[in-house]
Every structure is written in structure tokens, then in C-alpha cells.
Structure 1
Amino acid sequence: MSATEPREVPGREREFGPYGGRFVPETLVPALDELEAAWLDARADAGYGSELAALLRDYAGRPTPLYLAPRLSEVTGGTVYLKREDLLHTGAHKINNALGQA
């Protein structure tokens, strides 16, 4: 699977189990329907996936490097690598979420 290839997602019947898909005020339903339609269009657009992958790679520093920790490897008796999420701007979860929403 590539970064631009959409993943298979479960059908709507599996969202939130047997309880349904949304618990929101009725006034928000049209806006959420519009948002969902826009997301499905974007997800199917190869340009969107390519742009997001480029932003994650070139701006956010993804994928983050693996660093061989020689002293920690020596102490533990095994080879230890650290994934350097701390090198991302503002922390991993923030930038990943923000770029996905933009």
C-alpha cells in the first residue's frame, strides 16, 4: 500500500457497533453530511494523497529517523533503536493531525 492509496474501510454498518453512526443534534447533520462527502472525494483524489504525503515528508519530517542507541543496546543486551518523533515540529500528534485536516 502506498501513501496515496486509500485504505479499505469498514462499511457504515460497522461504525460505532450496533448503536449507529452519529449522536449529534439534528441541526448538525447537513454539515456533517457535507463534510463526509468532501472527505470521501478528497480520499479518492490521488492529488490529495500526494500532497499530504509531500507535506508529511518535506514539512513535518516524516518518516522520522530510527536512531541506534548503542549504550542502551549494550545495557539491555539487544539492539535498541529509538524512533525520533521528538524531531517533528510541535510534536508528532499535533502536526500529523493538523496536516491531515488541512
Structure 2
Amino acid sequence: MQFLVDEYGYYGPFGGAYVPEMLYPNLEELQNNYLKIFNDQEFRKEYRSLLKDYAGRPSPLYFAKRLTFKYNAKIYLKREDLNHTGSHKINNTLGQILLAKRLGKKRIIAETGAGQHGVATATVCALMDMQCVIFMVC
């Protein structure tokens, strides 16, 4: 099943989002510019280059010989832990912060749970010379 978001931000019969009024202009700005930026070939080229040369993608597959033997099935492990910053979080933060930079933003604010998202966000902000504030709820 696939739901496409309509012009009101709804998907499917019940979809939608609660957005504080204070943040609504930011979402409108993103909505008005996202597809233009995303479809820009220079943006896509830069993003792919960052994934390859900075994040270390594609991350390798490891043939898990002992698990394969134990479960009688060919088992491969995708080694996302070998990406720069040690997790898959770098993939998303590269795209989001590159997009924010294209929108002229100077500062990134993010939250993190266990810390990996915060590390990836701060790392990409340092790369792109952007201010960064990370909130971590314990």
C-alpha cells in the first residue's frame, strides 16, 4: 500500500501531522523548495559524492559463514557500522544538512537518543561549516 501526500499534508484517509504554529513557516519553506532542490542534478551529484567519499558507501556485505552453517541459509550482514561515525545515521544527516545548506540555513538543531544521530549531525555540520546544537534526553 502506498500513500502520497496531498497538498494539505495528508496521506491516506487519516494521515497528517501535528505541527506547532511556530514551526509551520519552516515546513512551508521546505515544501516549496524540496522538489526543486532534490531534482537538481548538482545537488544529487554532491550528495552521491559525499555518500561515497565521506560516508564510505556503499558499505560492504559480509558473508556470515558460521550463521550460514547454523541456519542452513546464506546469511550476509550489511556492515553499516563501518560507515563514517559508526552507523547508518550519516546517510540521512548528509542529505538533510546538505538540503538545509541549499536553503541558506546557518544552524542545525537536532535531538539524539543513544547519541549516534547527534554524532552524525555534528560531524556533517563540522564538514559543512555550520553551527550545530544537539539535545540529548536521558
TM-score, normalising length: structure 1: 0.72
* Residue 98 of structure 1, CA deviation: 1.0
Matched, 1:46 2:8: no
Matched, 1:68 2:48: no
Q: How many pairs are equivalent?
A: 94
The answer on whether the counterparts of 2:4 and 2:11 sit within 8 Å (CA) in structure 1 is: no
Task: Report the CA distance shift for 1:75/1:19 in structure 2 as closer, same or farther (over 3 A).
Answer: closer
* Residue 11 of structure 1, CA deviation: 4.5
Query: Alpha-carbon deviations, 1:40-71, whole Å to 9, x = none?
Result: 22112011111111111111111111111222
Counterpart CA distance in 1 for 2:23 and 2:70 is: 56
Query: Could you tell me the percent identity over the aligned residues?
Result: 51
Of structures 1 and 2, the one scoring higher in RCO (CA 8 A, sep 6+) is 1
Matched, 1:101 2:96: yes
Q: RMSD of aligned C-alpha atoms? A: 2.4
* Residue 95 of structure 1, CA deviation: 0.6
Structure having the higher strand fraction is 2
Name the structure 1 match of 2:79.
84
Query: Alpha-carbon deviations, 1:16-58, whole Å to 9, x = none?
Result: 4345645324443333211222222211201111111111111
Which structure has the greater CA radius of gyration? 1
Task: Report the CA distance shift for 1:79/1:40 in structure 2 as closer, same or farther (over 3 A).
Answer: same
Corresponding letter in the other structure for 1:74:
F
Structure having the higher helix fraction is 1
